């Protein structure tokens, strides 16, 4: 595997899930694979889970790890071509990428959406420069539009919680309110992965929050949140800003602050005693109430723990392809 951005990069999901369980049972079994190999993790944005889990996964595989926080100690990077660099940006990404690549075997990048220019975000302008100019495998640690390590961990978590008497569980991705405009990367990837997984998948959100069709795929979209949640086995709550599908001018904006979408005990009572999921970090009282996230149906901690496993499977696959 040379890049990891989309669900198809992983191939057959059943095989990947079985590999995840194998790795989970013995996470140090492949120490020799990463010997004398270096992972460079580049963060343009903050992280807790992605940073720790990916670093842990790499060390499980015997790799050396370098972490660079671009906004904390590195030269400020210019990302546009053709600009006169007379501002505060001292180095261009086009030099920085091959330089960084010369110190490592695999590059992992986190670079969020700017949420002002839809075309720029959805063309993945920054991470595609890493793919083009590094000459090294590139793993997405959340880009402008996708967060595949999260979606893979989510799928692993769902597969570990079979629903009695159901071959295909009902999984509902529900929008929930938030005080800041957030990217669409997590719901995009979750939708992309659930569309391939062996589940019945429903997305619910207020009108105007339609995900880009390339991610929403064939998912059922139900604008009535109560109807969507009825009979759900897994409730995946997440906020996202307007994807600008129906109205490009609204891209990246908060177009609803409807607090009736916050997941509380009443919402969960409409479900089939569903498990609650969220990628974290989560704002309590906006996305979900304390009692729901603290309940015995909440999977947020095992979900986060599985980030180590998803990262290890992905890095293992990349190492095997070097
Ligand atoms: N879920 C997730 O990616 O968490 P971090 O932003 O803390 O890495």
Whether residues 141 and 10 share a domain: the answer is yes
Whether residues 48 and 78 share a domain: the answer is yes
Establish whether residue 150 lines the binding site of ligand 1, counting it when its CB lies within 6 angstroms of any ligand atom: yes
Contact 151, 193 (CB under 8 A): yes
Terminal CA-CA length for the chain: 9
Give the structural domain span for 11.
3-146+307-321
Distance 49 CA to ligand 1 centre (A): 5
Establish whether residue 189 lines the binding site of ligand 1, counting it when its CB lies within 6 angstroms of any ligand atom: no
Whether residues 97 and 171 share a domain: the answer is no
> Which CATH number characterizes residue 29's domain?
3.40.50.1370
Q: Which two tokens stand for residue 313?
A: 């499977």
Whether residues 283 and 313 share a domain: the answer is no
Whether residues 19 and 139 share a domain: the answer is yes
pLDDT, one tens digit per residue, over 136-151 is 999 999 999 999 999 9
CA distances from 139 to 128, 158, 189, 190 (A): 11, 23, 14, 17
Tell which atom from ligand 1 comes closest to the C-alpha of 149.
3
Helix (H) or strand (E) holding 291: helix 290-293
- 78 strand-pairing partners: 92
Q: Which two tokens stand for residue 49?
A: 């889970």
Whether residues 100 and 179 share a domain: the answer is no
Whether residues 113 and 170 share a domain: the answer is no
- 89 lies in a domain? yes
pLDDT, one tens digit per residue, over 285-320 is 999 999 999 999 999 999 999 999 999 999 999 999
Whether residues 239 and 124 share a domain: the answer is no
- 174 strand-pairing partners: 204, 237
Q: How confident is the model at residue 73 (pLDDT cuts 50, 70, 90)?
A: confident
Distance 111 CA to ligand 1 centre (A): 12
Whether residues 87 and 205 share a domain: the answer is no
Q: Hey, whose CA ends up nearest to atom 3 of ligand 1?
A: 50
Tell which atom from ligand 1 comes closest to the C-alpha of 51.
8
Name the nearest CA neighbour of 219 among 205, 202, 232. Answer: 202
pLDDT, one tens digit per residue, over 227-264 is 999 999 999 999 999 999 989 999 999 999 999 999 99
Instruction: Describe the chain by its helix, strand, coil percentages, rounded to 5.
Output: 40, 15, 45
Helix (H) or strand (E) holding 131: helix 125-134
Q: Which two tokens stand for residue 23?
A: 């790795």
pLDDT, one tens digit per residue, over 176-207 is 999 999 999 999 999 999 999 999 999 999 99
Could you tell me the maximum CA-CA distance found in the chain, to the nearest angstrom?
A: 64
How many structural domains comprise the chain?
A: 2
- 157 lies in a domain? no
Whether residues 211 and 283 share a domain: the answer is yes
- 151 lies in a domain? no
pLDDT, one tens digit per residue, over 82-115 is 999 999 999 999 999 999 999 999 999 999 999 9
Distance 139 CA to ligand 1 centre (A): 15
> Sign (positive/negative) of CA torsion 225, 226, 230, 234?
positive
- 156 lies in a domain? no
Tell which atom from ligand 1 comes closest to the C-alpha of 304.
1
């Amino acid at each position: 595997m040379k890049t990891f951005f989309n669900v198809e990069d992983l191939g057959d999901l059943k095989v990947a899930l079985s590999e995840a369980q194998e790795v989970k049972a013995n996470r140090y079994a492949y120490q020799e694979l990463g010997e004398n190999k270096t992972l460079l993790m580049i963060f343009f944005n903050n992280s807790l889970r992605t940073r720790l889990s990916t670093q842990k996964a790499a060390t499980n595989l015997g790799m050396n790890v370098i972490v660079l926080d671009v906004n904390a100690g590195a030269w400020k990077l210019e990302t546009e071509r053709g600009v006169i660099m007379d501002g505060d940006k001292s180095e261009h990404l086009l030099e920085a990428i091959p330089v960084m690549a010369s110190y490592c075997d695999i590059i992992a990048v986190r670079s969020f959406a700017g949420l002002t220019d839809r075309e720029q975000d959805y063309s993945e302008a920054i991470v595609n420069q890493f793919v083009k100019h590094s000459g090294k495998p590139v793993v997405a640690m959340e880009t402008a539009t996708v967060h595949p390590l999260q979606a893979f961990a989510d799928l692993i978590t769902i597969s570990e919680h079979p629903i009695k008497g159901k071959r295909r569980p009902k999984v509902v991705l529900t929008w929930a309110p938030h005080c800041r405009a957030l990217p669409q990367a997590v719901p995009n990837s979750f939708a992309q992965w659930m569309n391939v997984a062996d589940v019945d998948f429903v997305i619910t959100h207020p009108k105007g929050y339609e995900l880009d069709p390339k991610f929403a795929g064939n998912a059922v979209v139900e604008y009535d949140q109560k109807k969507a949640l009825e009979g759900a086995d897994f409730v995946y709550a997440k906020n996202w800003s307007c994807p600008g599908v129906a109205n490009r001018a609204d891209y990246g904006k908060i177009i609803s602050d409807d607090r009736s979408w916050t997941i509380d005990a009443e919402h969960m009572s409409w479900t089939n005693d569903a498990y609650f999921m969220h990628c974290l970090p989560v704002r309590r009282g906006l996305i979900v109430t304390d009692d729901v996230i603290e309940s015995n149906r909440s999977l947020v901690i095992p979900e986060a723990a599985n980030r180590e496993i998803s990262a290890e499977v992905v890095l293992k696959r990349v190492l095997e392809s070097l």
